[in-house]
Structure 1
Amino acid sequence: MALIKGLLKNRWIKWGLIGFTAILVFFIGLYISIYLGVFGEVPTSTELSSIKQEEATQVLDHDGKLIGKYYIYDRQPLHFEDFPKHLIDALVATEDVRFFEHDGIDNVSLMRVFIKSILLRDKSAGGGSTITLQLAKNLYGRNNYRFFSMVINKFRESIIAERIEIIYSKKEILTMYLNTVPFSDNTYGIESAARKFFNKPAFELTKDEAATLVGSLKANNFYNPRLNPERSLNRRNVVLNQMVKYGNMPQDSADFYKKKPLGLDYKSFNHDVGIAPYFREQVKKELAIILDSIKNPNGEPYDLYRDGLIVHTTLDVGMQELAEQAMKEHLTVLQKDFEASYGKYAPWKTNKKLIESALKRTSQYKKFKEAGLSYEQINDSLSVKRDTDLFQWKGDTIQKISVLDSLQHYLKFLNTGMLSIEPQTGAIRTYIGGIDYRFFKYDHVSQSERQVGSTFKPFVYTAAIENGMKPCTYFSLAEVTYSNYDDWTPSNSGGETEDPYTNYNLEMALSNSVNTIAVKVLNEVGIPKVLEQTKKLGIKKELPNLPSIALGVAEINLKQLTGAYASYVNDGKPVKPFCITKITDRNGKVIASFKQEESEPAYNDYTRQVMLEIMKSTVNSGTASRLRTSYGLTNDIAGKTGTTQDNKDGWFVGITPNLVTVTWVGNDNSSIRFKTTGMGQGANSALPIFAKFYSKLNKDSNYNNITKSHFKQASDEVITDLDCNEETRDGFFKRLFTSKKKERKFKGNSDD
């Protein structure tokens, strides 16, 4: 006691003790004030007992494979049983070795940090944070305070951590931590990180992969395995050493794993990239409408980005990958040929009116125009060059170009749309809305309407047969001028080389896509009956009441066209293509389900069989015969090529018993067309995508149910009615007294 009194007489010791006591009282008071909520509400034990984290909505293909997500925070929660043991071992050995011993605050680590970091200035001492403290930070974040911000946040987290330890078991804490901890690339939770960096679920992570992800937690940008692979690899090896140190792995195993490369299989779920981006965007649009009418148990609308919904779709991800490969292979070559055909006189380079018109439609131009700038001023502003990311088939590039240069660059690209559906249901199996969603957002499956060219002709012939015309009805190839339609004279691609005295039956005429006969068939059956037939086929828009409709001047959506063609292998019933089968909440409860609505047959089965046989001839010997001759496909296939008269659009419809596919190719700007019919015809521009797609399907036994399926045998009546000469020729006297070129009025525009 005397010694203490003596020490207190020392002025420095006295004031030192007073200062220490004051600091201690201050921090105790600060802690109490934080506990009482003076610096913001601290979650109570009740609130902590009902933690609900935001979860990404998952989009699955028809086999349950993950193809995309909608999220603000990319998070997919798991149960403790889903974590491999070596993942837990790596986490605890690296982040909190005494996790199973402390109650949320590791006093041993704190003392180590105090002595080594503060007294001995050892920067490698660590931060003393526990997994539970990190969880508290992950769950509730940190606030910025004017003074003592770090201290206040640390005290707040310690209070939350202690409450978490009372409420939850150690396994539950680890589960919450691994479901919420932030990884690299704006990824939250181990499941999302495993799928993003290694393209596999968390339970399949190997020891070195688990160590890589755990290692990135120290600084998820600095140790990002995608951006900084060398740092990430070194950090992974540190984690492996920690596992050896604490008895989770023998040294020889660690040495083995340390020799392995990172082995990333990066799969971004960024909406602009990855598999089927146009499909995922369409699903999102439909979900917005669906969820607007469904309430969650609390009576509030579901949140697409936060509520962890599971969306089951019709897409076949394997088939989609093959379709995208086929599209890219063909368009890469076709684009090169397309540009070469124009040479230095390409319209996207030389046509000033075209370029000016396109420029005025850009958002940048409209913005400057609203600001009151003249065309010349806008043009100057848009001529400033800057680094720009450009799409190219040979690989993206960054170039220093202006907005005007960029416009001309993108004007030249051919685009595409492709849809494959199950004809019996309308379930969408593949969906390609364009060549690259990052640069071309417009969806040519759901948004676009283009002239369908000769793909409309089967609807004309269907109406004719349905109304009693026999397959062996013959029509002349000769051109006819229709005087009541501005002397319109439809012609064939063969032109002057065709014999006007030759007559084709319906099979020969349609399989070779003869324009003159298509119009004559329309004239016989009548426009009203053809328009009525297309409505029965599910094409509801108003089509032009003109004879040129026989040649496909109507602009029809690709999705509707596909649904109409499905009728030829679906008992005459058209379908409405759909992409969502059901939606479940995060607990697996179905909140909405969908199936194809049953439709009535659009025509009788005799008509269906005749039309299918004719379209089989199109593939076997007609305009689509290169499927057999050039691509060697031996599958049961029916089809129809389509080309618009001005070579703007190329089409192909491929029909097989269990899959109907439609492909379109053209330029987004209707003023830019194919230079020649040879290049732009559907058999050259669109058919190869289907051909390459089916060639790839044939090599994959998973799709034998599609590639090895066969059409049903046509009835004896249909076979008999099609058994006639493909063509006849007018006799001598008929040729003698018949003009090569006839003139008549088009009568088939009424029911008379």
Structure 2
Amino acid sequence: MATKKQEAEPTTNFSKYIRWFWMLFTAGVLAVVFIFLLASWGAFGEMPDHTVLENPRTNLATEIISSDGQTLGKFYFNDNRTPVGYEDLPQDLVNALIATEDARFEQHSGVDAIGTLRAVVKLGSGGGASTISQQLAKQLFHGEGSKNIVERILQKVKEWIIAIRLERQYTKEEIIAQYFNIYDFLNNADGIRSAARIYFGKEPKDLTLKESAMLVGMFKNSALYNPLRNAEGVKNRRNTVLSQMEKYGYITETVKDSLQKTELDVKYTPESHREGIATYFRGYLDSFMKEWIKDNPKPDGTKWNLYNDGLKIYTTIDSRMQQYAEDAVQKHMAKLQKEFFHQNTPDRNPTAPFLDLSKEEIDALLRNSMRQSERWRHMKYDLGKSNKEIEESFQKPIQMSVFAWKEGKPSEIDTIMKPIDSIRYYKTFLRTGMMSMDPQTGHVKAWVGGMNYRHFQYDMVKQGKRQVGSTFKPFVYATAVDQLHLSPCDEFPNTPFCIEKDKYGNIEDWCPKNSDGKYGGNLTLKNALANSVNTVTARLMDKVGPETVIELVDKLGVDSEIPPVPSIALGTADLSVYEMVGAYSTFANKGVYTKPVMVTTIEDKNGTILYQFKPETRDVVGEETAYVTVKLLEGVTRGGSGTRLRGNWGVNNQVYKEVITGYPYEFENPIAGKTGTTQNQSDGWFMGMVPNLVTGVWVGGEDRSVHFRTITYGQGATMALPIWGMYMKSCYADETLNISKADFEAPENLSIRVDCDSPADNDNVIQEEKETPDDLEF
């Protein structure tokens, strides 16, 4: 029979075990609590405080926004990130994320207890337990996990604490938006907005269900599930997301099954500094912003970072007009270049692409270009190579990608070529510059500095300056009208004329000749300008003097230095497209010069306005003088070198059919314009104006020795005018732009006669328009 002592021993031992269990359990709980407390106090590494949680440190790209609300491009180093709000996310995208990553997102407060317990019991084999809030915490504040188990556990603790704090700091919607904004989808697709634009060419709000599913599927591992490298894997992952959405009732089984059979339909639209729309304008804007940042520090005295601070730059560029301009340039330059190559085969021109140069002159030109190249600069100053070593490197074939026109579109060719040969190769391409502006506001609507920014980075809108030819003549005429009160109907002799030496500081007599070699009789100023008659322009220059013309041109916004000699009347000065458009706009704006505007507003990432432009205007000539000048320029498109803008001029001429793009234009509305062609056809210009839009176009070679041999192709009416014509046809076809077809407004009490009754108004057709294809044989 057991004693009382023996009966008590098991009970005592069991109680002891119970006490030890609860002691250990309590100690464990306290230890866990203590670890969490230590982590929250920063004992295991810095933890974000309230202010950091409110403003997470993420690099935000600076966004360039067009006047019609489209993103033209961005400035960024590594992070092409532009955040969007929850309201900009389609519901399918949100549902796909919750169904795939965190089905109980709406029920937990940062940590999913059920998911965590499942992960612990199954040792992670049943799936991870990280909530969307935890994943956001991980990406915002501590990145990838450590391989060390202890460090990994401590990181997980920190992740839980931050997730709970995020849930207290933000709404569920804000956490969703932040998660989409922070993720790197690769290929410069940082955040959902960049991802939607780069992979599908659209804004996030426009994503379809299957597109949303694909992007959410990339959250698992964007390096592995990337549509550019692993389309099949991405499709399978997308289908998994669709299955999850069906599982949790967001879509029906029928919808799931139908979408799983579809292709990805990715529309890869890369966003980089050298690709996309308005690349040359963005190049200009980069310089503009760096200058602005120098003079405008942050409130705390530090400098703004163009690439990380998430600024918003609101520009005057209209994305529709910009696209029309780029399309016109591309279409015409491809055809014009084809003809240039045809005329510069080795048989036709042994010194191609150069004309009128000896071998010694060509070698000197290439050597000079070699020393100005980026390759020379890099080897000389970055690598410290000697001149001899650098010159030898230019003679060694290397692998490179070079520009080429392919089926009328810019393309690249992978080849092996000597760097010196590549310099000569690039000189075979004609260049172009184009700018379009509202003359009343000064807002620049389109800016095309070249054909392809990746290969031709020199901007021919503002950087490049070339001889302007006859497009300078309206400045002489405007000066004469302003100073002498002349009328377009006044007549001048079309006879040889000289300005004697020393009269205006010129060292010898200046006796310009007419380009067609024809003289005799009298011409009205209207006909003389329409046909670019040099003798009449010289007579006007003699009456007003170079200094007076330069004074007017200076007021018209031309900053380039112009020598005070009579020959400037024929366009010997080198000016930019930017200067010319600003100057011509003064005539369309009733004599008031408005400085071209490209940036209207700059905001920080919170929408605070940092800069707002103030119009810069000044009165230059009277309204009457401006109107008379416009009427003179209208004559160019009615009976002069701009006639091909009307009707079917030249339709029977096969040369023009093949080379002039977009013809016939058949404009019937008032157009004021002027063509320009420089000596040897090195430069072709066209300046065209309607009441609310002024556009300038230049086309030519990089070097003046690169040009067409004859004026049939080398004149401004063939090289530059077609770009203007195609651009304006597109602008008029887009009725949302409201481009004017009205008459230029006449001033009240007009005292100068502008409507000439002479039948000669439309009788004079310039000789350069009459040349035939036979002139091209050489």
Task: Select which of 414, 419, 425 maps to 1:403.
Answer: 419
Aligned match of 2:455: 439
Task: Select which of 708, 711, 714 maps to 2:744.
Answer: 711
Aligned match of 1:732: none
User: How far did 1:556 drift?
Assistant: 1.4
Question: Does residue 704 of structure 2 align to residue 698 of structure 1?
Answer: no
Distance in 2 between the 1:375 and 1:79 partners? Answer: 56
User: How far did 1:26 drift?
Assistant: 11
User: How far did 1:472 drift?
Assistant: 3.7
Aligned amino acid, residue 251 of structure 2: M
Aligned match of 1:606: 624
User: How far did 1:51 drift?
Assistant: 3.5
Distance in 1 between the 2:526 and 2:477 partners? Answer: 10
Task: Select which of 335, 338, 344 maps to 2:337.
Answer: 335
Q: How many residues of Structure 1 are paired with residues of Structure 2 in the alignment?
A: 706
* 1:429-468 alignment runs, 5 A limit: 429-468=445-484
Aligned amino acid, residue 372 of structure 2: R
SS at 1:183 equivalent: coil
SS at 1:187 equivalent: coil
User: How far did 1:713 drift?
Assistant: 5.4
SS at 2:679 equivalent: coil
User: How far did 1:156 drift?
Assistant: 3.1
Aligned match of 1:492: 514
Distance in 2 between the 1:430 and 1:547 partners? Answer: 34
Distance in 2 between the 1:462 and 1:663 partners? Answer: 21
SS at 1:646 equivalent: helix
Aligned match of 2:658: none
* 1:150-549 alignment runs, 5 A limit: 150-296=152-298, 298=300, 300-344=302-346, 345-348=350-353, 351-369=362-380, 377-394=389-406, 395-468=411-484, 469-480=486-497, 484=501, 485-495=507-517, 498=518, 500-549=519-568
Once the two structures are superposed, what CA deviation does each residue of 1:629-653 show, in whole Å capped at 9, x if it has no partner?
Answer: 2432223211000111132211100
User: How far did 1:48 drift?
Assistant: 2.3
Question: Does residue 650 of structure 2 align to residue 645 of structure 1?
Answer: no
Distance in 1 between the 2:316 and 2:378 partners? Answer: 40
Task: Select which of 86, 91, 105 maps to 2:92.
Answer: 86
Distance in 2 between the 1:726 and 1:549 partners? Answer: 28
SS at 2:617 equivalent: coil
Once the two structures are superposed, what CA deviation does each residue of 1:253-274 show, in whole Å capped at 9, x if it has no partner?
Answer: 1123223332334433312111
Distance in 2 between the 1:408 and 1:340 partners? Answer: 17
Aligned match of 1:18: none
Distance in 2 between the 1:198 and 1:139 partners? Answer: 26
Give the alignment's TM-score, normalised by structure 2.
0.83
Cα 1:587–1:31 change in 2 (3 A) is closer
Distance in 2 between the 1:226 and 1:138 partners? Answer: 24
Give the alignment's TM-score, normalised by structure 1.
0.86
Distance in 1 between the 2:76 and 2:617 partners? Answer: 35
Aligned match of 1:130: 131
Worse-superposed segment, 220-229 or 507-516: 220-229
Distance in 2 between the 1:591 and 1:372 partners? Answer: 43
User: How far did 1:30 drift?
Assistant: 7.8
Distance in 2 between the 1:728 and 1:133 partners? Answer: 78
Worse-superposed segment, 288-297 or 620-629: 288-297
Once the two structures are superposed, what CA deviation does each residue of 1:296-324 show, in whole Å capped at 9, x if it has no partner?
Answer: 45554443333333222111111111110
Cα 1:30–1:431 change in 2 (3 A) is same
Cα 1:64–1:310 change in 2 (3 A) is same
Once the two structures are superposed, what CA deviation does each residue of 1:586-634 show, in whole Å capped at 9, x if it has no partner?
Answer: 333333211422311x222332222212211101110111111243222
Report if the CA contact (8 A) 1:470-1:721 is conserved. Answer: no
Report if the CA contact (8 A) 1:196-1:267 is conserved. Answer: yes
User: How far did 1:515 drift?
Assistant: 1.8
User: How far did 1:558 drift?
Assistant: 1.6
Once the two structures are superposed, what CA deviation does each residue of 1:382-413 show, in whole Å capped at 9, x if it has no partner?
Answer: 33333322221212222233322322221211
Report if the CA contact (8 A) 2:57-2:140 is conserved. Answer: no
Distance in 1 between the 2:371 and 2:299 partners? Answer: 49
Aligned match of 2:579: 560
Worse-superposed segment, 220-229 or 425-434: 220-229
Aligned amino acid, residue 589 of structure 1: T
Distance in 2 between the 1:252 and 1:306 partners? Answer: 45
Report if the CA contact (8 A) 1:451-1:556 is conserved. Answer: yes
User: How far did 1:211 drift?
Assistant: 0.7
Aligned amino acid, residue 48 of structure 2: P
Cα 1:46–1:364 change in 2 (3 A) is closer
User: How far did 1:721 drift?
Assistant: 6.6
Once the two structures are superposed, what CA deviation does each residue of 1:25-77 show, in whole Å capped at 9, x if it has no partner?
Answer: 99999877655534431223554244464433222111222222223422222
Task: Select which of 603, 615, 621 maps to 2:633.
Answer: 615
Report if the CA contact (8 A) 2:316-2:444 is conserved. Answer: yes
Aligned amino acid, residue 388 of structure 1: M
For structure 2, list consecutive stretches of 5 or more residues without a partner in the other structure: 1-8, 15-26, 502-506, 650-663, 764-778
User: How far did 1:115 drift?
Assistant: 5.5
Distance in 2 between the 1:283 and 1:504 partners? Answer: 46
For structure 1, list consecutive stretches of 5 or more residues without a partner in the other structure: 7-21, 730-752
Once the two structures are superposed, what CA deviation does each residue of 1:326-347 show, in whole Å capped at 9, x if it has no partner?
Answer: 0000000111111222211244
Aligned match of 1:10: none
Once the two structures are superposed, what CA deviation does each residue of 1:416-459 show, in whole Å capped at 9, x if it has no partner?
Answer: 11010001111101111111111122111121221111110000
User: How far did 1:479 drift?
Assistant: 3.4
Once the two structures are superposed, what CA deviation does each residue of 1:723-747 show, in whole Å capped at 9, x if it has no partner?
Answer: 4464999xxxxxxxxxxxxxxxxxx
Report if the CA contact (8 A) 1:82-1:203 is conserved. Answer: yes
Report if the CA contact (8 A) 1:466-1:607 is conserved. Answer: yes
Once the two structures are superposed, what CA deviation does each residue of 1:653-691 show, in whole Å capped at 9, x if it has no partner?
Answer: 001111000000112234423332222211111111001
Cα 1:229–1:531 change in 2 (3 A) is same
Q: CA RMSD in A?
A: 3.3
Aligned match of 1:582: 601
Aligned match of 2:615: 596
Aligned amino acid, residue 706 of structure 2: I
Aligned amino acid, residue 166 of structure 2: I
Task: Select which of 19, 27, 45 maps to 1:40.
Answer: 45
SS at 1:660 equivalent: strand
Distance in 2 between the 1:470 and 1:708 partners? Answer: 25
Cα 1:242–1:385 change in 2 (3 A) is farther
SS at 1:68 equivalent: strand
Once the two structures are superposed, what CA deviation does each residue of 1:672-715 show, in whole Å capped at 9, x if it has no partner?
Answer: 23332222211111111001111222322223x21533323587
Aligned amino acid, residue 613 of structure 1: K
Report if the CA contact (8 A) 1:338-1:675 is conserved. Answer: no
Distance in 1 between the 2:217 and 2:146 partners? Answer: 30
Report if the CA contact (8 A) 1:609-1:718 is conserved. Answer: no
Aligned amino acid, residue 742 of structure 2: S
Aligned match of 2:22: none
Task: Select which of 81, 88, 97 maps to 2:103.
Answer: 97
Report if the CA contact (8 A) 2:140-2:182 is conserved. Answer: yes
Question: Does residue 83 of structure 2 align to residue 66 of structure 1?
Answer: no
User: How far did 1:112 drift?
Assistant: 4.3
User: How far did 1:164 drift?
Assistant: 2.4
Distance in 2 between the 1:254 and 1:241 partners? Answer: 7
Task: Select which of 37, 52, 57 maps to 2:62.
Answer: 57
Identity rate, percent: 37
Distance in 2 between the 1:173 and 1:290 partners? Answer: 34
Once the two structures are superposed, what CA deviation does each residue of 1:470-511 show, in whole Å capped at 9, x if it has no partner?
Answer: 43443333334556243544222213xx2x323322111110
Report if the CA contact (8 A) 1:432-1:445 is conserved. Answer: yes
User: How far did 1:719 drift?
Assistant: 4.1
Report if the CA contact (8 A) 2:81-2:191 is conserved. Answer: yes
User: How far did 1:111 drift?
Assistant: 4.8
Distance in 1 between the 2:196 and 2:755 partners? Answer: 61
